[in-house]
């Protein structure tokens, strides 16, 4: 026995306990008593350790010499406590924190090691009870321990509400923050973090509602704690930590502390703190008070009317006729008649106990109004925090959450701070620049993603469903506050702020996820997991969103939004090998296989001969042991009735395993092979059980991978607000509204207005009032109408009367309407109820009948045209049928029923346009790597498109690069081109005059830019059928006279010539190509849709911003963008095919219409010109003829004077070719300029006279050279132009 114990180390009672324990060493006890002795031993050591800390004498605390070691021992004891947290409870009961630890840090704070150890111990003692126990225990014993720990924590919080304590903490924290990073040690950083954790733990302690029975405007423990924080200057240090760039590592701790400071506050109360109420607020309070007064008077009047005019000592008894009791007799009512309306059969019965899992979720959030000075301090803190800290702190926290550097569920602090401070800013002047960090589409996406995650976890984690529901409520509040702030910005006086709000709204209304989040939450609402406050916020948020969306749609005829469609894959059919093979089936299979092999003469294709592998080289089973599996593969091929494949496997297996002649001898005959295949087919081979399971698993994996890549399809469609409201006409969405309406008496007036407005949209706007014809709804309406304070709910009363009147009007026509009250109805049932029921056996759609003559006609037409190669045979057959009223669906259905085609899919109409597949993370990384590799090349986009693993269109790749932020503008991705010097001539030449006078159309030029053409083709495919707009005709200016086709062609030709002189030949050719393609598409589809002109090259985009080019677009009828929702000019849907082609022909350059091939003569030119002149009016004929004659005469004089200076190769030409050269010179300069824009660099380098002569000499060669004739003519025009310049 150790007797080295002094009185200085322990007190008297501790010494006594040690003596008693020493006596027990020689005595044996039962096992239970020994366990109690161990517990006493631990308690004794703990008590001795606490006694060694020191003692408090008056206001002075005297620490013992072993105080530091004792504090470290207490930390060690807490580390080894049991599940009941016995050490923590004993320290709390002994009030060690109040009597020892707090006096130590306030009076002995200069002892740094002791101060650090005390802070560590207090952080451990004050940590929340939920962290100690993991969750609220279900066991009653552990629940008692949990509540005991909570009570000790509440006592700690009251002890911390001391200004001296927080003054010491603030001074220490201030001194540590004054140190630079070079001077600050690791221990200093740990002490800063522990002090922040200590403040967080103390603020986190919940209030005790039984001890703190304070009313509003009274100081609670939490208010006292906040005031101590304010007086010590700790709040200023928190703001410094939130705003200082060098202290960003504490951002999450600071946000936690701030969120706990404002836990019981509301932004509205803080905004109005210390300010006089406005006239509007006074009027609102007066109206509410008057409504309560009227309600009280109505109830008083009702009670007065219930009492009789004469007092009676006897209530009387009455027989209620027609209302049966539990027997066959009528009910006898033993109370006054005025109480009969409250009679119920359930009166007096025991209330049925509702199981806990079916109980309605209760609201746990408590709000109270703090004392005025605390509210003023918090209001000032909020204003300073928004001015200096909010944007930076929220950015740092968001980055930590995205990079997963924070702890689990830390995003809830971010969501709370967003909703609280944005609400405070909205009420305090709504300065958008103060909350700009969280006012973006990224924030909407972050919240939407968390809402979805919380809902999924609420369904999967049933035990923690309440916690997930609270987190989802926080996310919903943040989403609601974002919408409120954007709506407030939309009413700002600053034009820039209104424009920013419009941009945010266009983005959130465009994406489907943001539009349908409220539909999803309403449809999935569960009152057992989500409280009434959640439903109230959800209804108000939905009302706000719909109001903003409705206002945004007004004045916009064609609002385009994104639409996502999930393509569900059909379940794969089970393999035929899994079916039972009876002898009859095997005989039939063998007959088919043997006939197929004999017909082919036992000859196999090269693929089956060389590409068949009878064993699996990657399998762990040796090749020598895979003969059984090879036999099974041959049998499976026979089951599938693929004889050649089975024979190929048999011969390949014979080469691999020749021993034993298992698969036949080397010189086996075909008939012997046939007999061997028959034996394999009828044999019962041992099939391993894991093979089929592995095959099914592989198929499932492949199907899942395929669904990940192909399941989501994104497109654009025109948005219709009324169609969107129709989605709310669903019983699953109406029920939550009616559930909230049950508590109409306790709802705010705004909440009741939101409910009635949604019901009004469904019943009146959609004319689906029958959706509300339900007995529970009518019971609620009756309760409202009979309420003594019904005057306070005028809007609700008016709507209830409207619905009831509509029902009784319908009941007069439909005698089954009263039965329909018992059921909730969908849209189809509502239509039947109001428009009439279908007769029994009557189909929804009448079956279309075909006569035998019509069937035979359809068969003959199909046989005639099935091999014609037409892209859509149904569209070909429709106009050829005798009955022209047949629709495409009817013809397709009949062709399938007649067996002409196997499935409807064979006749499916091919849709143009590409379906957008979402980008995976690997594909985005690949795109970024390719961009970094080729960002300095001449053709960045071309190199990326060639090397992308998943092939996508040019437009989709450009959009993705822009969204990733790799480039700032679309122009940065254009191909870098070398430009030639501009043309020498600046004035109007003879060719320009000739083109402007003639205005003659030419054939489509062969000199088109192949790259731009490819871009247009891809962009057209991408945008077509994704962008659909309302047809809106182009309206001309008032007083503009209608131009004839000839005059328009002349004016368009003049503008085209001006553009060509400016070097815009390429964009003009691109515009012509778009017009021709639009005409072809409308002729092919038979439907006209507005077609956007999307420039994908740098030249085309520059041209779209050119005023002269826009004037040309106006002249040919192209419509400019209507509003900010449109970015491109569009070809109107009202332009006919003839108009499109006429406009396209008017854009042709004049040289090809006036200059033919190499063998054309001057007379041919004149004939062509005269033929073109005959199409014009008589007034223009003479003018053009005179101009042509004058021009040709001038050319001849010019040529005759320059004969001596001509090239010898030119002098050898015939007079006809000279005349042709003269005619070719008419458009040569324009051709040169066009070639500069459209031709590649290689072609320009080859445009030389020597090369031209070589090409001319071999012009009569092969067909390949003949196909390149247009390019040769172009080069010859360039040559003739050079000769004219020399002349």
Tokens representing 1230 are: 């324009």
pLDDT digit string, tens, across residues 92-118 = 988 899 999 999 999 988 899 999 999
pLDDT digit string, tens, across residues 792-838 = 888 999 999 999 999 999 999 998 999 999 999 988 888 888 888 87
* Residue ranges with strand state E in 388-517: none
pLDDT digit string, tens, across residues 698-739 = 555 454 444 444 456 777 888 889 999 999 999 999 999 999
Tokens representing 181 are: 């990073």
Q: Are 1074 and 1093 in contact (CB under 8 A)?
A: yes
pLDDT confidence bin for 1123, thresholds 50/70/90: low
Cα angle value 332/333/339 (rounded, 5°): 165
Q: For position 619, what pLDDT does the model report?
A: 66
Among 163-167, 918-922, 1174-1178, whose mean pLDDT is lowest?
1174-1178
Q: For position 353, what pLDDT does the model report?
A: 84
When pLDDT is averaged across residues 391-420 and rounded to a whole number, the result is 91
Q: For position 977, what pLDDT does the model report?
A: 58
Max mean pLDDT among 615-629, 804-818, 1066-1080 falls in 804-818
* Residue ranges with strand state E in 429-575: 560-566
Q: Are 894 and 855 in contact (CB under 8 A)?
A: yes
The more confident residue out of 1276 and 929 is 929
> What integer best gives the mean pLDDT of the chain?
75
Among 449-458, 548-557, 1146-1155, whose mean pLDDT is lowest?
1146-1155
Q: Among all chains, which residue has been given the structure tokens 């010590």?
A: 232
**Alpha-carbon torsion 483, 487, 492, 496, what sign?**
positive
Residue 1101 confidence (pLDDT) above 60: yes
Residue 1010 confidence (pLDDT) above 50: no
Residue 465 confidence (pLDDT) above 80: yes
Percentage of the chain lying above the pLDDT 70 cut: 71
Q: For position 572, what pLDDT does the model report?
A: 46
pLDDT digit string, tens, across residues 564-620 = 766 555 444 444 444 456 777 788 888 888 888 877 777 776 666 666 677 666 666
Of the candidates 105, 377, 109, 372, the residue with the CA atom closest to the CA atom of residue 239 = 377
Residue 1285 confidence (pLDDT) above 50: no
Whole-model pTM: value is 0.59
Q: For position 1199, what pLDDT does the model report?
A: 56
Q: For residues 388 and 1077, what is the distance between their CA atoms, to the nearest angstrom?
A: 58
Among 195-199, 234-238, 1036-1040, 1182-1186, whose mean pLDDT is lowest?
1036-1040
When pLDDT is averaged across residues 963-968 and rounded to a whole number, the result is 78
Q: For position 569, what pLDDT does the model report?
A: 52
Q: For position 981, what pLDDT does the model report?
A: 40
Q: For position 1024, what pLDDT does the model report?
A: 41
SS3 assignment, position 565: strand
Residue 9 confidence (pLDDT) above 50: no
Q: For residues 426 and 244, what is the distance between their CA atoms, to the nearest angstrom?
A: 25
Q: For residues 1238 and 1060, what is the distance between their CA atoms, to the nearest angstrom?
A: 12
* Sequence-ordered list of residues with C-beta below 8 angstroms from that of 818, at least 6 positions apart, any chain: 811
User: How many helices (H) does the chain have, and how many strands (E)?
Assistant: 60, 8
pLDDT digit string, tens, across residues 475-501 = 999 999 999 999 999 988 989 999 999
Residue 26 confidence (pLDDT) above 50: no
pLDDT confidence bin for 1117, thresholds 50/70/90: confident
In the chain, what are the helix, strand and coil shares in percent, each to the nearest 5?
Answer: 65, 5, 35
Q: For position 25, what pLDDT does the model report?
A: 39
Q: Is 357 exposed, middle or buried (0-12, 13-18, 19+ CB in 10 A)?
A: exposed
SS3 assignment, position 1177: coil
Residue 538 confidence (pLDDT) above 60: yes
Q: For residues 447 and 218, what is the distance between their CA atoms, to the nearest angstrom?
A: 36
Q: What one-character-per-residue DSSP string does 228-255 give?
A: HHHHHTHHHHHHHHHH-GGGGGGHHHHH
For the CA atoms of 77, 82, 88, 94, the dihedral, rounded to the nearest 10 degrees, stands at -80
Q: For residues 728 and 732, what is the distance between their CA atoms, to the nearest angstrom?
A: 9
pLDDT digit string, tens, across residues 831-872 = 888 888 876 555 545 567 888 888 888 888 888 887 777 778
Q: How many CB atoms lie within 10 A of CB 871?
A: 9
Residue 31 confidence (pLDDT) above 80: no
Of the candidates 1265, 1270, 1283, the residue with the CA atom closest to the CA atom of residue 1239 = 1270
Tokens representing 681 are: 């087919």
For the CA atoms of 48, 50, 56, 62, the dihedral, rounded to the nearest 10 degrees, stands at 80
When pLDDT is averaged across residues 502-526 and rounded to a whole number, the result is 91
Percentage of the chain lying above the pLDDT 90 cut: 26
Q: For position 1073, what pLDDT does the model report?
A: 85
Q: For position 966, what pLDDT does the model report?
A: 82
Q: How many CB atoms lie within 10 A of CB 425?
A: 25
pLDDT confidence bin for 694, thresholds 50/70/90: very low
Residue 774 confidence (pLDDT) above 50: yes
* Sequence-ordered list of residues with C-beta below 8 angstroms from that of 1192, at least 6 positions apart, any chain: 1162, 1222
Pure H helices in 821-887: 827-835, 852-865, 873-877
Helix (H) / strand (E) element for 410: namely none
Residue 1165 confidence (pLDDT) above 50: no
Among 655-664, 952-961, 1047-1056, whose mean pLDDT is lowest?
1047-1056
The more confident residue out of 218 and 1040 is 218
Q: For position 481, what pLDDT does the model report?
A: 95
DSSP strand pairing (330-333 vs 318-324): antiparallel
Residue 1216 confidence (pLDDT) above 80: no
* Sequence-ordered list of residues with C-beta below 8 angstroms from that of 606, at least 6 positions apart, any chain: none
Among 414-423, 550-559, 1069-1078, 1258-1267, whose mean pLDDT is lowest?
1258-1267
């Amino acid at each position: 026995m150790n007797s080295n114990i002094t009185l200085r180390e322990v007190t008297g009672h501790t010494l006594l306990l040690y003596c008693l324990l020493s006596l027990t060493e020689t005595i044996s006890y039962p096992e239970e008593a020994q366990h109690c002795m161990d517990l006493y031993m631990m308690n004794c050591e703990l008590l001795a350790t606490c006694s060694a800390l020191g003692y408090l004498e008056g206001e002075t605390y005297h620490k013992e010499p072993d105080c530091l070691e004792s504090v470290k021992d207490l930390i060690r004891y807490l580390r080894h406590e049991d599940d009941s947290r016995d050490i923590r409870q004993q320290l709390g009961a002994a009030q060690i924190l109040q009597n020892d630890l707090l006096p130590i840090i306030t009076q002995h704070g200069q002892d740094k090691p002791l101060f650090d150890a005390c802070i560590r111990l207090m952080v451990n003692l004050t940590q929340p009870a939920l962290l100690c126990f993991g969750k609220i225990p279900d066991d009653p014993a552990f629940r008692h321990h949990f509540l005991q720990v909570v009570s000790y924590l509440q006592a700690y919080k009251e002890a911390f509400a001391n200004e001296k304590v927080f003054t010491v903490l603030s001074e220490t924290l201030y001194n540590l923050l004054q140190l630079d990073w070079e001077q600050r040690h690791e221990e200093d950083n740990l002490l800063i973090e522990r002090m922040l954790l200590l403040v967080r733990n103390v603020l986190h302690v919940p209030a005790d509602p039984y001890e703190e029975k304070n009313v509003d405007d009274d100081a609670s423990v939490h208010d006292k704690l906040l005031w101590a924080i304010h007086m010590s200057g700790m709040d200023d240090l928190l703001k410094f930590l939130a705003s200082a760039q060098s202290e960003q590592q504490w951002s999450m701790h600071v946000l936690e502390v701030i969120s706990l400071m404002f836990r019981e506050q509301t932004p509205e109360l803080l905004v109005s703190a210390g300010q006089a109420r406005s006239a509007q607020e006074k009027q609102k309070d007066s109206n509410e008070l008057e409504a309560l007064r009227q309600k009280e008077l109505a109830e008083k009047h009702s009670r007065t009317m219930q009492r009789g005019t004469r007092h009676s000592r006897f209530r009387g008894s009455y027989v209620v006729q027609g209302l049966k009791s539990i027997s066959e007799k009528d009910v006898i009512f033993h109370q006054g008649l005025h109480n009969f309306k409250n009679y119920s059969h359930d009166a007096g019965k025991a209330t049925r106990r509702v199981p806990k899992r079916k109980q309605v979720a209760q609201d746990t959030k408590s709000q109270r109004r703090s004392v005025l000075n605390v509210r003023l301090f918090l209001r000032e803190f909020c204003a300073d925090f928004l001015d200096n800290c909010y944007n930076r702190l929220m950015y740092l926290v968001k980055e930590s959450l995205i990079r997963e550097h924070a702890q689990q569920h830390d995003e809830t602090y971010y969501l709370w701070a967003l909703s609280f401070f944005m609400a405070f800013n909205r009420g305090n002047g709504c300065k958008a620049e103060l909350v700009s960090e969280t006012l973006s589409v990224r924030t909407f996406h972050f919240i939407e993603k968390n809402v979805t995650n919380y809902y999924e976890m609420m369904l999967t984690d049933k035990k923690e469903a309440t916690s997930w529901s609270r987190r989802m409520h926080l996310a919903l509040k943040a989403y609601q506050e974002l919408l409120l702030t954007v709506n407030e910005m939309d009413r700002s006086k600053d034009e820039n702020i209104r424009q920013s709000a419009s941009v945010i709204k266009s983005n959130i209304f465009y994406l489907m996820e943001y539009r349908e989040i409220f539909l999803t939450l309403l449809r999935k609402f569960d009152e057992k997991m989500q409280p009434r406050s959640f439903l109230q916020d959800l209804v108000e948020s939905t009302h706000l969103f719909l109001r903003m969306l409705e206002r945004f749609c007004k004045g916009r005829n064609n609002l385009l939004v994104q639409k996502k469609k999930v393509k569900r894959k059909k379940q794969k059919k089970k393999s035929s090998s899994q079916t039972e093979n009876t002898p009859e089936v095997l005989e039939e299979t063998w007959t088919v296989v043997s006939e197929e092999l004999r017909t082919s003469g036992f000859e196999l294709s090269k693929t089956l001969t060389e590409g068949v592998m009878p064993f699996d080289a990657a399998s762990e089973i040796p090749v020598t042991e895979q003969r059984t599996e090879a036999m099974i593969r041959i049998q499976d091929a026979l089951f599938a009735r693929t004889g050649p494949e089975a024979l190929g496997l048999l011969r390949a297996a014979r080469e691999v395993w020749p021993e034993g002649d298992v698969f036949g001898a080397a010189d086996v005959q075909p008939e012997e092979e046939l007999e061997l295949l028959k034996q394999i087919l009828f044999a019962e081979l041992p099939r391993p059980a894991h093979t089929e399971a592995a095959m099914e698993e592989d198929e499932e994996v492949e199907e899942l991978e395929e669904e990940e890549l192909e399941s989501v399809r994104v497109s654009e469609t025109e948005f219709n607000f009324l169609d969107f409201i129709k989605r709310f006409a669903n019983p699953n969405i109406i029920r939550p509204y009616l559930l909230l309406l049950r508590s109409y008496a306790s709802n705010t007036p705004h909440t009741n207005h939101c409910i009635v407005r949604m019901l009004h949209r469904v019943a009146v706007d959609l004319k689906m009032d029958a959706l509300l014809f339900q007995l529970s709804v009518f019971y609620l309406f009756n309760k409202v109408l009979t309420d003594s304070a019904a005057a306070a709910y005028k809007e609700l009363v008016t709507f209830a009367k409207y619905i009831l009147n509509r029902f009784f009007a319908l009941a007069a026509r439909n005698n089954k309407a009263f039965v329909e009250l018992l059921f909730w109805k969908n849209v189809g049932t509502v239509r039947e109820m109001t428009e009439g029921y279908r007769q029994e056996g009557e189909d929804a759609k009448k079956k279309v009948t075909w006569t035998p003559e019509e069937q035979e006609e359809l068969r003959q037409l199909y046989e005639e045209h099935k091999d014609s190669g037409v892209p859509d045979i149904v569209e070909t057959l429709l106009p050829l049928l005798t009955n022209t009223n047949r629709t495409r669906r009817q013809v397709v259905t009949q062709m399938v029923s007649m067996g002409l085609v196997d499935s409807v899919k064979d006749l499916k109409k091919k849709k143009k346009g590409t379906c957008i597949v979402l980008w995976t993370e690997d594909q985005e990384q690949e795109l970024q790597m390719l961009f970094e590799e080729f960002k300095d090349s001449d053709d960045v986009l071309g190199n990326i498109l060639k090397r992308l693993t998943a092939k996508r269109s040019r437009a989709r790749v450009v959009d993705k690069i822009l969204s990733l932020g790799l480039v700032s503008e679309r122009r940065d991705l254009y191909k870098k081109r070398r430009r030639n010097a501009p043309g020498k001539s600046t004035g109007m030449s003879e060719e320009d005059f000739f083109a402007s006078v003639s205005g003659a159309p030419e054939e489509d030029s062969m000199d088109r830019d192949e790259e731009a053409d490819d871009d247009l083709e891809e962009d057209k495919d991408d945008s077509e059928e994704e962008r659909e707009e309302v047809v809106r005709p182009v309206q001309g200016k008032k007083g503009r006279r209608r131009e004839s086709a000839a005059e328009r062609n002349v004016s368009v030709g003049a503008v085209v010539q001006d553009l060509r002189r400016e070097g815009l030949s390429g964009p003009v050719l691109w515009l012509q190509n778009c017009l021709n393609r639009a005409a072809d598409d409308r002729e092919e589809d038979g439907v006209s849709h507005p077609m956007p002109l999307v420039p994908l090259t740098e030249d085309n985009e520059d041209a779209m911003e050119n005023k002269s080019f826009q004037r040309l677009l106006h002249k040919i009828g192209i419509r400019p963008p209507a509003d900010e929702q449109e970015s491109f000019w569009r070809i109107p849907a009202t332009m006919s095919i003839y108009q499109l082609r006429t406009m396209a022909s008017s854009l042709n350059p004049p040289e090809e219409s006036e200059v033919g091939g190499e063998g054309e003569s001057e007379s041919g030119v004149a004939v062509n010109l005269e033929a073109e002149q005959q199409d014009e009016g008589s007034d223009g004929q003479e003018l053009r003829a005179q101009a042509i004659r004058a021009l040709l005469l001038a050319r001849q004089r010019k040529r005759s004077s320059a004969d001596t200076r001509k090239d010898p190769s030119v002098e050898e030409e015939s007079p006809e070719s000279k005349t042709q050269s003269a005619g070719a010179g008419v458009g040569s300069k324009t051709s040169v300029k066009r070639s500069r824009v459209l031709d590649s660099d290689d072609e320009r380098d080859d445009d030389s006279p020597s090369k031209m002569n070589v090409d001319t000499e071999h012009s009569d060669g092969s067909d390949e050279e003949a196909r390149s004739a247009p390019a040769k003519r172009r080069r010859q025009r360039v040559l003739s132009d050079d000769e004219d310049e020399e002349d």
